[in-house]
Structure formats: structure tokens, C-alpha cells
Amino acid sequence: MERTDYDKYLRLEKFPLIWCPGCGDGIVLKAILRAVDRLGIDQNDVCMVSGIGCSSRTPGYVDFNTLHTTHGRALTFATGVKMVRPDLHVIVVTGDGDATAIGGNHFIHAARRNIDITVLLYNNWIYGMTGGQASPATPMGKKASTAPFGTMEHGFDIVALAAGAGASFVARETVAKPILLDRLIERAILKKGFSLVEVMTPCPTTYGRRNKEGDGAAMTEYLKVHSVPMARADKIPEEEMESAIVTGVFVDDDKPEYTAEYARMVERLRESKVAG
């Protein structure tokens, strides 16, 4: 197995990490770096954008072009970057609350446009850093600071949301299987169009303590035990599927990409002006 020089990609002066013990965000960070390293992408050709939240602290630790922006608005900033510099690999790091609550409208329309941005959505079922509120991904019945007796709402199926909005590539994996995760991130970066990798990751502090889920190791083991590859999903009894986390690639389509179509339109207008 190839070895990655992680230090090459890190702002080591920013360490130690802010994340709580047992949080899976560091596992995702290393998976991103392995994918970038394996693809041989120059660090100056990557722009990582985030909003607000635990996951959104990731850009602070990586030696890429980075933007740490406002809550829910990562995709608007990323869209601007991509329109001006379509040559860059634009990666958005976001959370379930940041992307699908306050940033929900931006999420669905970036997918609809099929703009060439890779979204890595860390789903820990809670607003982890900003107060422990229930997010659109919090499972029904689970407790949060805004749902002390358990949430009564159905959570989003985030991969279905992205697929329905028109994303070119949609996948899900857990931090319990980090090598599979970095391979999916690699595929998402390579895909021309809007790509989403939903990463299931534990929050032992804000979510785990309230819901008596155990420490980070126990929560990661839960993700491992309950993850089911798509190829096996139709063989699992219906009652077991209620708690299953289906993983794998849900969408892998080729369709027109926004910045390329925009460039073609500009060229057509220039040609018509010259001709006219």
C-alpha cells in the first residue's frame, strides 16, 4: 500500500486539532489528503471552501488555497471561485446542518446547475459545534438541544436529495472504512460535474452524550456494523434495513457541466459579435 506524506499537505503550525477526542473528522481529513496525493494534484490547483461547523474547520489545517466562509454559504463562495477559475479543483467541506438546513437552497441549486464542485458532507446527525441543535439529518426520536425529548421530524436522505436535484456523482461511506472513503473521494474529484460524498462520522460529544451512544470508538463501531454496501442492500431483511446505512455509489452520470456550458455560450456570443 502506498504511503502518503501527510505533512506535505498540512499547516502543522495550526495543530493540535480543535476536534474532540473520538470525532471522525480527522479520519476524513486524512482520506482527503490520500485522494489528492494519489491523483497527483498540485496543491496550488486545489481550493477548499467551507462554511461554519466542526467539519468546516478542515480548511484551516490544509496547505491548499482555502476559504472559511459564513454559515450555509460555502457553495455560493465556491461557485464564484469555480466560475472565475474553472481550472481549479474546488472542494467544499460542509456538515449536515451547514449544507442541508441554512445552506439547503444553495445545495440543491448547485447540484441542479451541475457545476464542477466536489462536496464532502460530514454527517454526524447534529449541529456539533454551534449548540447541539437538531439538524435535518438527526434521526427521528434522537435528542438534541432543540429537541430535549427527541426530534419528531423525519431526517433528509441526503444522497436522495442530491440525486433528485441533478448531481452527476453521489456516494456515501463511513469513517469506519477509511480506505473505501478515500477511493470515493478520489472518484468524486475526478468527476466532471457536481459531486457529493456523504461521510457518516461520529459526534461523541454533542450527539453521543445526549443519546447515550458511547464514546467515539463505540459510535464508529456502530457505523461499521450497520453499514451495508449497495450490492447487499436488497438481500437484507426489511426490519434490519431500518437501521442500515447503505454505502456505495448511488449516481454516476455524465451530463453537461455548468462552467463548460457557460464558456461555450460566451464563445458563441463573441463569434456572433464578430460576424455581426
Does this model's pTM top 0.85?
A: yes
Work out the number of other CB atoms within 10 angstroms of the CB of residue 273: 8
Cell numbers linked to 265: 455560450
Q: pLDDT for 184-219, tens place per residue?
A: 999 999 999 999 999 999 999 999 999 999 999 999
| pLDDT score of 186 | 98
Distance in angstroms (rounded) separating the CA atoms of residues 30 and 44: 18
Distances (CA, A) of 67 to 59, 60, 89: 7, 9, 13
- Tell me the mean pLDDT in the region 235-263: 91
Residue 1 pLDDT more than 60? no
What does the domain layout of the chain look like in residue ranges?
Answer: 7-275
Task: Copy the grid coordinates of residue 266.
Answer: 460566451
For the chain, how long is the longest CA-to-CA vector?
71
Reported confidence tier of residue 273, pLDDT bands at 50, 70, 90: confident
Rounded to whole angstroms, the Cα distance separating 94 from 196 reads 11
242-252: pLDDT as tens digits: 889 999 999 99
DSSP letter for 155, please: P
How far is Cα 201 from Cα 169, in angstroms, rounded to an integer?
20
45: its cell numbers: 490547483
Q: pLDDT per residue over 50-105, tens digit each?
A: 999 999 999 999 999 999 999 999 999 999 999 999 999 999 999 999 999 999 99
Query: Model confidence at 231, in pLDDT bands (50, 70, 90)?
Result: confident
Let me know: does 173 contact 197? Beta carbons within 8 Å.
Answer: yes
Report the pLDDT value the prediction gives residue 120, as an integer from 0 to 100.
98
- CA-to-CA distance for 69 and 94, rounded, in angstroms? 11
The answer to whether the peptide bond before residue 16 is cis (omega within 30 degrees of 0) is yes
Name the H helices within the chain: 25-39, 74-84, 96-100, 104-113, 158-165, 178-190, 216-226, 230-233, 238-241, 258-275
Fold designation for 7-275: Rossmann fold (3.40.50)
Quick: pLDDT tens for 166-179.
999 999 999 999 99
Predicted local confidence at residue 233, as pLDDT: 83
pLDDT of residue 130: 86
Cα of first residue to Cα of last residue in the chain, in angstroms, is 59
Average pLDDT over residues 44-54: 96
pLDDT at 77: 98
Q: State mean pLDDT over 259-265.
A: 96
Give the 3-state secondary structure percentages of the chain, helix then strand then coil, rounded to 5: 45, 20, 40
What pLDDT, on the 0 to 100 scale, is given for residue 232?
A: 86
pLDDT for the residue numbered 184: 98
Q: Name the amino acid, one letter, at 53.
A: G
**Over the Cα atoms of the chain, what is R_g?**
19
Task: State the chain's mean pLDDT as an integer.
Answer: 95
Give the CA distances from residue 29 to residues 154, 212, 232, in Å, rounded to whole numbers and listed in that order.
29, 26, 28
Instruction: For residues 199 and 208, give the distance between their C-alpha atoms in angstroms, rounded to a whole number.
Output: 17
